[in-house]
Homo-oligomer: A and B are copies of this chain.
Amino acid sequence: MDDENRLWRWRQRTEVPLFAASVLFLGCYAVQVLAEGIGPGWEALLRAVTYGTWALFVVDYLVRWRLTGRHAHFVRRHPLDALVVVLPLLRPLRIVQLYETAQHRHVRPRLTLYARVIAYAGLSAVLLGFAGALAVYSAERGAPGTTVRTFGDAVWWACSTLTTVGYGDVTPVTGLGRTVAVGMMAGGLALLGAVTGSFSSWLIQTFTLDEDRGGPPGNPPGARPR
């Protein structure tokens, strides 16, 4: 209907600037966490930019909620959107929609189905891991008995958590750090599902097609609904 069209147009117009804003948000947060001893002026500027971009996300959410006719099920049907408004650090996860917007400019997608799912899951893992490492590092820094001494430790911990390997040589000890960690474990589970599911489906599909016609293997076949 008309609302759908206006919503669609709004999203197409706001997708790129909003993604830029989310990257800016993540960047400012990273500088606030990692850069120590920058003047109070810079601190204030960074904080202002952070809250400003956050406000942008809230405005965008409200506009889209309004464009859908203020239906309550909008909140239910877009849980990820509601989540990134509350936790803007997760905002870059919406990169998939930027990717989709770029996709729809072409007649046929450039990547196959499974390759796109894996690319999305991989990008989400990188962004989620980076944001989580920042949050855990800022929460654990200076805590007594913590093993997260440098930001490198935090990144190392994030990788071993998202892949559910969980060495345990670096683990958060503060309540906040552990809360972030639990969220990242859930994220790791979801990414694990997307990556493993897509990869095995792609591999089985490749071997199957390759069996039907003895062609050169290894090229991902065209996307087909599974």
Seen from chain A, the residues whose Cβ lies within 8 Å of a Cβ on chain B are: 4, 7-8, 11, 73, 76-78, 80-81, 96-97, 100, 104, 109-111, 113-114, 116-117, 120-121, 152, 156, 159-161, 163-169, 171, 175, 178, 181-182, 185-186, 188-190, 192-201, 203-205, 207-212, 214-220, 223, 225-226
Contacts and interface: CB of A to CB of B under 8 A. Distances in A.
Contacts of A96: 217-218
A208 to B, nearest CB: 4
Contact of A110 (B76, B109, B160): B76
A24 to B, nearest CB: 22
Contacts of A211: 109, 113, 223, 225
The listed residue with most B CB atoms (<10 A of its CB), out of A100, A165, A215, A223, is A165
29 contacts: A4-B216, A7-B216, A8-B215, A76-B110, A80-B218, A96-B217, A104-B214, A113-B207, A113-B208, A117-B200, A117-B203, A152-B178, A160-B166, A160-B185, A163-B185, A163-B189, A164-B164, A164-B165, A164-B166, A165-B185, A189-B192, A189-B195, A192-B196, A194-B203, A197-B203, A198-B203, A205-B225, A208-B226, A211-B225
Nearest to A192: B196
The listed residue with most B CB atoms (<10 A of its CB), out of A117, A188, A207, A211, is A207
Given A97-B217, A190-B196, 18 more contacts: A8-B216, A78-B219, A80-B218, A113-B207, A113-B211, A120-B207, A156-B182, A160-B185, A163-B186, A168-B168, A192-B192, A193-B199, A194-B200, A196-B196, A197-B199, A197-B203, A198-B204, A208-B226
Contacts of A199: 189-190, 193-194, 197
Contacts of A192: 189, 192, 196
Contacts of A73: 110
A131 to B, nearest CB: 17
Contacts of A195: 189-190, 193
A100 B7 CA distance: 33
Contacts of A188: 163, 165
Contacts of A190: 195-196, 199
